[in-house]
Amino acid sequence: MTTWTPIDCHAHTKMSDGELSIEELIETVRARGVRPSIADHLSTDVSLAVKSVDAVREYLDALEPFDVARGGEFCWHDTLWREIHEDLMSRFTHLIGSLHAVRVCREKQWVSMFQRTLPDELTPVTYMMQHIEELERMADDMPVDILAHPTLLALPMRTLPVDELWTEALEERLVEALFRAGIAFEISNRYRPHERLVQRAHDRGVRLSLGSDGHTRAQVGDIAFPLEMAKRVGAAESALYDPYVHGTRAAR
């Protein structure tokens, strides 16, 4: 009899802004009955990240001796992922793309998901329109396997009711963009998506991926919520994104 073990596709170590070493992360995640992967920030625009092509090579060299999936979280708005040659890209087991900033105000200005204030003229409706357009550009251009935290929005938006922000039309556009590109939808434990959107992604045939986005011992490998949500929308265990089964677009 074979037993299926879930995999946490998104977790951070000390190599970027996490607290654990590679060994500590692997041990902690395994103790939770979950398979580990490491997906540190690879971006010039995250303060404690891996920031250059040479540093990405060293990052992969550091992971290689371990029995752990080798992921990386790239920022769409940053240029580092565009500079990495295919040979290096194909050493990853999976690539995660993050929308950590979107262009607003006729695409002239980048707004970070973590800044406290937004330009005055930006209403929630206009913001969401810009957000979805950025996401569509990302899905079309960025050769990643997983969209990290698909419902992460600019900080001031996050206090608004999720139903006001995500209309069904916007959800459709998000799901279509992922489906077209063959990018998996991450059910993040850190930025938890609402069920209607996860259901829509699953119903459209978008693969779901489980991610703790953990940075600490308490967080890494904690994928109980994502796993529960995946089951609730009817996803089969074998259909959940697994880099060892489904591979990475970077190696194709």
Q: Which is nearer to Zn ion, 6 or 72 (CB)?
A: 72
- Write out the H or E segment, with its range, that includes residue 56: helix 53-63
Query: Does the footprint of Zn ion cover residue 222 (CB under 5 A)?
Result: no
Query: Does the footprint of Zn ion cover residue 219 (CB under 5 A)?
Result: no
Distance in Å, CB of 94 to Zn ion, minimum: 13
Among 145, 186, 213, 222, indicate the residue that binds Zn ion (CB under 5 A).
Answer: 213
Cα 106 from Cα 144, distance rounded (Å):
26
What is the amino acid identity at position 227? L
- Write out the H or E segment, with its range, that includes residue 187: strand 184-188
Distance in Å, CB of 238 to Zn ion, minimum: 25
Q: Which is nearer to Zn ion, 146 or 165 (CB)?
A: 146
Q: Which is nearer to Zn ion, 156 or 199 (CB)?
A: 156
- Residue range at the interface with Zn ion (CB under 5 A); choices 30-38, 157-165, 205-213, 220-228: 205-213
Phi then psi dihedrals of residue 9, to 5 deg:
-80, -5
Distance in Å, CB of 73 to Zn ion, minimum: 5
CB 182 within 8 A of CB 206: no
Sign of the alpha-carbon dihedral angle for 197, 199, 201, 204: negative
Residues 57-116 that bind Zn ion (CB under 5 A): 73, 98
CB-neighbour burial class of residue 143 (10 A; exposed 0-12, middle 13-18, buried 19+): middle
Q: Which is nearer to Zn ion, 171 or 186 (CB)?
A: 186
Count interface residues toward Zn ion (CB under 5 A). Answer: 4
Distance in Å, CB of 149 to Zn ion, minimum: 6
Q: Which is nearer to Zn ion, 213 or 242 (CB)?
A: 213
Return all residues near 61 (Cβ < 8 A) that are at least 6 apart.
Answer: none
Q: What is the DSSP string of 85-108?
A: -HHHHTT-SEEEEE--EEEETTTT
- Contacts with Zn ion by CB under 5 A lie at 73, 98, 148, 213
